[in-house]
Amino acid sequence: MILLTLIASVLIAGVSIYQFRKEAKVYHQDRLERKENSILEHINYVLQTTTYPLTTENIPYIFKEKIFELSDIHSMEINFYDLEGNLLVSSKAVFKLDSVQPKINKATLQILRNSLEKRYIEFTTRDGQQFRSSYSYIKDTKFKPLAILNLPYEEDTTFYDNEIKNFLIRFGQVYILMFLIAIILSYFLSSYITQSLKIISDKIRETNFNQLNQKIELEAGSKEINLLIQSYNNMVDQLEASATKLAQSQREQAWREMAKQVAHEIKNPLTPMRLTVQSFQRKFNENDPDIKQKLDDFTKTLIQQIDTMSSVASAFSNFASMPAQQNETLDIVKVIKLTLEIFNEDYIEFQSSTEKIVTKLDRTQLIRIITNLVKNGIQAIPEEQENKKVLIAVTQESDSVLIKVQDNGKGIPEENKPYVFEPKFTTKSSGMGLGLAIIKNIIENYNGTITFESEENKGTIFYVHLPITE
C-alpha cells in the first residue's frame, strides 16, 4: 500500500509537470502564430498603400516610420532582412542582436528557402531565456519575395512556473498526509492480517526433529487459521512421538549390537573351556604320577580363558577400549584439517598455533574425537540463528597439545552439565548418548583430559588436552 501510494504520487506529479510544460509550449506557439498573422496582414496593407516601388531596396524607406507603429501595436520586435540575410530595418533603435547575430545564419536561411511553407521557427537561448524566432517571406502583389520578416519572441514562462510550483506545494501537502495515512493503515492492517500467520510461520521455522517443539496457543478469528493451528499442533504431537520412538529404537539397536558383540566375544573362550573340562574329566586318574602337572595345566587354561572374558567385560564397560589402539606417528594439525573437510558447513573455522604438531596417536580415534565434538557444535546451533560459528583451535604447549572446539550455539543448561559425559545421557531425540562418553574414554586412555565451559544462549567450549609422546 505504501509503495503504491508513493508510485502513484510520483506518476501524478510527473504527468502534471509534463502537462503544464506542454500547455505552456502550445500556448506560446499559438500566440506567436497569431501575432505573426496579424503583423503580416498589417505589413501587406502597408505595402499595398505605399507610393514606393515594391523592391527590396525600398523596404527601409517604406517601413522607416511604420515599423515602430507596428511594433507598438503588436508589442513585438520586428526586423526586416534582405533575401541574403542582411539586416534592412529594425524596430529597435539599437538592434540588440547586432553584437551576436548581425545577419541571418546561413543554415537558417537555407532551411527557410527549402521549406514548403517558406516559414521557419528557430529556437534559441540567450542569457538563460528561451526565444522563438519566426522567419517568413514578405511578397509583393505578384508573390515575388521582397524581404524576410523576423519576429523574435521571448517565451515568458513565469506564469506557468509559478503554477507548477503552487501545484507541487499543494500536491505535496496532500500526498504527505495520504502517505502518513497509508503507513498507519498498512501497519495496522498487516499486523491484524499477518499476526496469526507470523506466529505460525515462526513456529514452523523453529520446528526441528531433534528438539522439543512447542505448540501454538492461539485463538484466531479465522476458521482457516484455527484449522492450520490445529494441524500444526497435531503434527508436533506426532513428531514428538516419532522422535521418541526413533531415539528409543536407536538406543535399543545400539545396545543390541553391543550386546551381540560382547556375547560373541564371551562365547569364544567358553568353547575351549568346555572342551578342556571334558577332556580333563575323561582322562582324570588320581593314581597318575603326572596328575599335579596336568592339574596345573588345566588350571592355567581355565584362568587364561577367564582372563579373556574379563578383558571383554572390561572393554565393554569402557566402550571405546574394545578395539585395540593402533598408535602411529602422525601430524595432529594435518589430520584435523583432513577431518574437517567432510563437513559442508561454511561457518567452520580452523586455527593452529604451529604448522605441525607430531605425536603418537591412533589416527582413527583422533578423527573420532574431532568428528564427535564438531558435530555436537553444529547441532548445538539453532537452524534459524544468524552468524553461526564453530571454531577448532590447536595449540602446542610444553609437553601437550590443546584442542579447543568452540560454538556459539544455545549452550548447556546448568542442570545438565554434571551428566554431559555419562553414558546414555543425551538432550537430543536422536543418538545413543554414548558419543561424549566414548571420546572421554579414548582421551583418558592417553592420559589426557577433556573439560568444557558453557553459557546458555552464548555457546560451549570443549578443551581436549593430549600428551605429546615420541
DSSP states along 285-333: -TT-TTHHHHHHHHHHHHHHHHHHHHHHHHHHHTGGGSSPP-EEEEEHH
Residues in the chain: 470
CA distance 405 to 410: 15
At residue 283, the pLDDT reads 72
At residue 116, the pLDDT reads 82
Helix (H, G, I), strand (E, B) or coil at 360: strand
Q: Which residues contact 163 (CB under 8 A, 6 or more apart)?
A: 20
**Architecture of the structural domain at 327-467:** 2-Layer Sandwich (3.30)
Phi, psi for residue 452 in degrees, rounded to 5 = -150, 155
Enumerate residue ranges in the chain where pLDDT < 50: 95-98, 319-322, 429-433
At residue 432, the pLDDT reads 44
CATH superfamily ID and name for 2-161: PAS domain (3.30.450.20)
In 51-137, which ranges are continuous DSSP H helix? 59-62, 66-74, 106-114
Q: What is the pTM of this model?
A: 0.36
Helix (H, G, I), strand (E, B) or coil at 135: strand
Contact, 67 vs 93, CB < 8 A?
A: no
At residue 389, the pLDDT reads 93
At residue 402, the pLDDT reads 94
AA identity, residue 432? M
Helix (H, G, I), strand (E, B) or coil at 1: coil
Contact, 365 vs 372, CB < 8 A?
A: no
At residue 152, the pLDDT reads 84
AA identity, residue 33? E
Residue showing cell 529404537 = 249
